[in-house]
Amino acid sequence: MIALSWDIWHEMVAHSMVELPNEACGLLVGHLDGRVVAFHPCKNAAESSKLYTLDPRDHLRIDRAADDAGLAVIGVVHSHTHTDAYPSPTDVNQAPDPDWHYVIVSLRHPDPAVRSYRIIDGVASEEAITVTSDPS
């Protein structure tokens, strides 16, 4: 399970909309038990509407800042501009860490859909998202 605040939920969705027509991406920082403290938008180095590549400089900067704060990068967020919030084969193949939460914001319909997955050994399993006033 992943837990985040409404503010973080809105930040993820807003970043996804601002980056249209390209896919948006960013990192989740928080506690290893799935409590998200912050969402950090990143540059999509692929600059594509069909795939994302986290900018390595953004990733390194965010990872170091999380470590300095006693937190960890616990997941990645990216948007799907024209498909449902389900990991594509490319998403599954690019999943770098089995401990991460993989959040997808779908902009296929007028109301964005946000879903989270764990991807382990090439298998995506949906997990619950708890949105609260402050999960930290």
Q: pLDDT tens, 54-77?
A: 999 999 999 999 999 999 999 999
pLDDT < 50 positions in the chain: none
Q: What is the pLDDT of residue 46?
A: 94
Considering the entire predicted model, what is its pTM?
Answer: 0.94
Q: What is the pLDDT of residue 133?
A: 80
Q: What is the pLDDT of residue 134?
A: 66
Q: What is the pLDDT of residue 129?
A: 96
Q: Which domains does the chain carry?
A: 2-70+86-127 (3.40.140.10)
Residues 107/110/112/113 CA torsion (nearest 10 deg):
-90
Residues 52/104/15/59 CA torsion (nearest 10 deg):
-50
Q: What is the pLDDT of residue 132?
A: 87
Taking the C-alpha atoms of residue 36 and residue 8, their distance in angstroms, rounded to an integer, is 8
